[in-house]
Amino acid sequence: MIDKLVIVESPAKANTIKKFLGGNSKVVASMGHIRDLPKSKIGVDIEHNFEPEYINIRGKSTLINQLKKDAADSENVYLATDPDREGEAIAWHLAYVLGLDPKNALRVTFNEITKNAVKNGIANPRHIDLNLTDAQQARRVMDRIVGYKISPVLWRKVGKGLSAGRVQSVAVRLIVEREEEIQNFVPEEYWNILLTASDFPTSTKFEAKFLGKSGKKIELHTKEEVDKVLSELEGAKYIVKEVKRGEKKRSPAPPFTTSTMQQEASRKLNFAIKKTMQVAQTLYEGVNIPKHGHTGLITYMRTDSTRISEEARSVAKTIITAKYGEQYYENRYYKTKGDAQDAHEAIRPAHIELSPEDVKDSLTPDQYKLYRLVYNRFIASQMANAVYDTLQVNIDANDYNFRANGQTLKFPGFMALYVESEDNSKEEEFTQIPPLNEGEEVRKEDLKGKQSFTEPPPRYTEASLVKALEERGIGRPSTYAPTITTILARNYIEKDKKNLVPTELGKAVNKYLVTNFPDIIDYEFTAKIEEEFDKVAEGKENWRKIMQEFYGPFAESLKKADEESERVKVEDEVTDVPCDKCGRMMVIKNGRFGKFLACPGYPECKNAKPLNEYAKNPCPVCGGKVVVRKSKAGKKYYICENNTGVGLGCDYISWNAPQVGEKWDPSSVKTIEAKPAAKKTTTKKATAKNTTTKKSTAKKTTKKK
């Protein structure tokens, strides 16, 4: 007989917990959800109060039978799935499958997988929180209804294979509207006048900017206005009118929430949001560390709280004072936002005594980078302010006013360890200013006008999109990664370096949804629904009532859109590449293997060919164009388009983009596992081989999904 059966979600988490539980205990993994709504139909009985029709997930019957057997052989069954709404729902489904009463089942949660946390959790089980499961169920049911009801309308009115979603469609709308702002933006001209001056004793140069005249600010919009000021400054003396010395403090950022970790990992590590969450999951569930065994390294990574425990605060103090000194420590408490779910701590190291360097050899490069980011952010959050000495110098010349700003770092504080970055941020400009006194004359070295133009708002990156969604109250930390993954996969948006750009398909779908389902993708409505789900989680609202209030107006919009809306044509992007067979300009299409060029004359002309991405510089061997391709592992490589096979044409192929004047070494690229594009006159055998490779790749892709 098993004394304790502990069911978690993943094998890695199970391995970590096993070492903490002595005696006759068994820890097994459910491998995520074991029951869900069916994929073949909507799976929600709308006529009977939105009753979900759950089924056991295909392929999990063997696992379920084993779990039932283990539960029957156990004195106590502990449902230890993840400590969020999704984890609560999985525990609820496990209780159903195992025949346990949800009101009496033993539910345990671990915010961090450490010995104390695990033992305390097992010693103090609670019951399944049915309010949390209802909140998750409400989201699942509403998202299923929206997706399964709107998508068929999109197929008929826009194109096959399309989908809509309560959060994903709003995210696309944000990106499309930002693109429209950029396209409609009209730059406005403005000018400034820059004074380069120096003091007479040391000839140290510094820069000051034009402010106005006689203490009043003046904006310069044309060159004529600038020339007028410059002419009136000819022969003027530049006198220091005022010197202001001060002190400026900069505070550290709070420890990570899910969204701030996603944003910072995107900016500092260039991680996609999905990748950040995948790596964070492995750090939470645990890795093998010599002398420590399987060890969870960070606290739970789905949270919007900035709270940290007193124990963690105490350990941070010890580390900071030992490494940097008492003056670098400051006991800080961070206020969590009013709408945040404060069930968990912020994301922090689970074993603060284990520094990034201590565990580096046990981690993959990506794990190390993210752990170091989480660790440094947490430690810095308990450090003292950085302190700057500031200097502001006002200079007058013929009643015209100039100002120079300078600052020097007096005490680094938290900046000795970590500084938060910002998306598209522009740092205030400072210059080194020599010691100056009021009434002192400075030498004019140069005086010139500088023309500038206002700039459109920047495109969203993954980081700034997450920030925008969070600020608007749309979605929750756990939804951001799958939302961005979905709209990329649906080809509603695409990445241009780090920027998110809507495709023509995305614009068309967004236009249709905004026109026919304005409430569903309304920012305020979507945020209000999230607030309603939160009330369900708190036991203040009934989820079926929310569904009833939602469904009536939604059904009317659905019927009207299906019967009255017109079909939308998605315009293909026309290229400057002529069709080899009929001369029409080819267009860009999307297929199951990505983008390709196709003749717009289809079906009369069925010509199609690959859409190549080219490197900026030519081939360093023959001067031809260099094509960007991907290896079997998905890594980019560069190959001359004249490279038609081993020993045929140009041999150039490289992992790195070609550089002007580069001396290429053929021996440096022996490890590239990819074949150059076959010649049009390939043999039947070669074609068959390529077909097999494509099928294999497609199979792998399907399996990955």
Could you give the residue numbers annotated as active site? Answer: 300
Whether the Cβ atoms of residue 97 and residue 34 lie closer than 8 Å to each other: yes
Biggest distance spanned by C-alpha atoms of the chain: 99
Question: Which residues, including other chains, have CB under 8 Å from residue 361's CB and lie 6 or more apart?
Answer: none
d(CA 26, CA 30): 13
β-pair partners for 250? 386
Q: H-helix or E-strand containing 511?
A: helix 504-516
Under DSSP, the state recorded for 593 is T
d(CA 382, CA 317): 7
Give the three-state DSSP class for 347. Answer: strand
d(CA 450, CA 220): 10
Token pair in block for residue 196: 């380069």
Question: Which residues, including other chains, have CB under 8 Å from residue 535's CB and lie 6 or more apart?
Answer: 541
Under DSSP, the state recorded for 104 is T
Whether the Cβ atoms of residue 287 and residue 295 lie closer than 8 Å to each other: yes
d(CA 186, CA 177): 16
Which of 618, 600, 597, 601 is CA-nearest to residue 609?
597
Residue 33, phi then psi, degrees to nearest 5: -65, 145
Count other Cβ atoms within 10 Å, centred on residue 324: 18
Which of 40, 56, 62 is CA-nearest to residue 148?
40
Q: H-helix or E-strand containing 285?
A: helix 273-285
For the chain, what percentages of helix, strand and coil (3-state, to nearest 5) are there? 40, 25, 40
d(CA 376, CA 386): 16
